[in-house]
Structure 1
């Protein structure tokens, strides 16, 4: 079943494996291409790791494009109140932009505004403004290199910085950047938004990437969310940007990554099962 013409669709590679340098990852690329996907989303990578350029070449040789992921750590965090830690966080984001360019990518996703999983305390308005300005500076640098930088809006259990489309729009405005874009994910939106289509409409002027994930984190055809209805609604709103799909199953993931994401069960048995099922949504 072919994707609807013009659909620019990406798949999170964790559906197959959480090791981008593995044989399992190499085997997933022709499957994605055959199913009509244009992009593959990578988990966090060390910009100094050996083989980064070769990984990018492997993806491009398969007829796909990579989407990289920006992250922060307690030692390098643009949200930090400590200037040295904040500076290291800023430089870490810049290195990720440079890595994306080396891989031939044109999109950088992730949670660049703080440490993923740090949801214990609310940031002050000043902290949010400072963080937004730093992320906006990196987005401008990325745009100059031909890369669209997005930031994912995740749920309250994963961050306290921003959880809704309204907060995300404010973050873009505080950044002062004309290039920073929002990444919405239906899984997180279902936890935080009272009106999913209203949230998309609110973010639409800045929306660069819309990701579909089910309530179960498994097959898109099985779960509590009416993803077909949501897709029809966002198309009616006029969204014409890039889409992504995401699913997690413990049997396809390295155990530490599955633990970190709280993926405890088997929601599908193979990545191919997931990508074929997900592609049917966009047919």
Structure 2
């Protein structure tokens, strides 16, 4: 990846759930227009059922706004790549491949998610054999994804949402277990704030395999307010030479469906204006870039060129 950036060409994705509850709302075109106007190039879609998605329509709406989609892959009871049961493991791998097919059909080039086991099982997978089974299956799909032009990542979650991968160090171990040269890590600062003693150090550790750095504030609200200095972390990412994709994520009960709110333990509404949050987040990212070595260099070059 190149490290030649300017503030207008930053590769940033906004999670659609920042603005809307689902990808089938009549308000999707307006939401996409708003995030594009704010400077985003991609949108992270909420989990979709491939069999229930009007793929052609969604693809056309995204294309009309020149927005690239990032999909989310996951597992379900009876379909779990960490299982010792070969049939259940095969069903889990099939779910991942169905999500990959959907990604390709939507003309996306990135698939995020929690592909290594069931979401929301704090006591879940701690058996090293189960973790290795999951890693191998996920690695196989990641290689298939790469062959089809898609980067597959796996999200590192906090201890209350998974017991498989909670830290950058564990994520690097998971990649090694997978045997894949193509599997990439998805770090999320919201989860990192729970698990990592040194957030900047965790980014540095994961950087060789880091595909997606998602920015989420401690209270799930505005990125410019909260316990995490996101501007400093953006600056750090650029200063260590990382040049992957950033993401913005925030959740509010006033926006999400009751089901999604309950699943994610979003009991409050830390914000009411999703468009305002997306704009605020882009300002944080641009300030972080501008204060980095690369950002200052780009500013100097711009002045000389002007």
TM-score (ref. length: structure 1): 0.97
Equivalent residue in structure 1 for 2:253, among 250, 253, 260: 250
Q: CA RMSD in A?
A: 1.1
Cα distance between partner residues in 2 of 1:259 and 1:13: 18
Q: Deviations along 1:66-104, whole A, 9 cap, x unmatched? A: 000001011211112221111100001011101100000
Does residue 1:113 correspond to 2:116, yes or no?
yes
1:17 Cα deviation (Å)? Answer: 1.4
Equivalent residue in structure 2 for 1:208, among 204, 208, 211: 211
More off after superposition, 74-83 vs 214-223: 74-83
Does residue 1:159 correspond to 2:162, yes or no?
yes
**1:67-82 map, 5 Å:** 67-82=70-85
1:122 Cα deviation (Å)? Answer: 4.1
Q: Which runs of 5+ in 2 are unaligned?
A: 1-5, 287-306
| Contact 1:220/1:277 (8 A) holds in 2 | yes
| Contact 2:103/2:109 (8 A) holds in 1 | yes
Cα distance between partner residues in 2 of 1:175 and 1:58: 35
**1:141-160 map, 5 Å:** 141-160=144-163
Q: Deviations along 1:197-255, whole A, 9 cap, x unmatched? A: 11111111100000100000000011111111111112111111100010111111111
Please name the residue that 1:135 is paired with: 138
Equivalent residue in structure 2 for 1:36, among 16, 24, 39: 39
- 4+ residue runs over 6 A deviation: none
Aligned pair count reads: 281
Please name the residue that 1:198 is paired with: 201
| Contact 1:136/1:177 (8 A) holds in 2 | yes
| Contact 2:135/2:174 (8 A) holds in 1 | yes
Cα distance between partner residues in 2 of 1:121 and 1:62: 40
**1:11-50 map, 5 Å:** 11-50=14-53
Q: Match of 1:45, SS?
A: coil
Cα distance between partner residues in 2 of 1:18 and 1:171: 32
Cα distance between partner residues in 2 of 1:5 and 1:33: 12
1:157 Cα deviation (Å)? Answer: 0.4
Q: Which runs of 5+ in 1 are unaligned?
A: none
Q: Deviations along 1:34-55, whole A, 9 cap, x unmatched? A: 1110000011101111412211
Please name the residue that 2:3 is paired with: none
| Contact 1:13/1:42 (8 A) holds in 2 | yes
Cα distance between partner residues in 1 of 2:15 and 2:281: 11
Cα distance between partner residues in 2 of 1:134 and 1:53: 29
TM-score (ref. length: structure 2): 0.90
Please name the residue that 2:69 is paired with: 66
| Contact 1:16/1:24 (8 A) holds in 2 | no
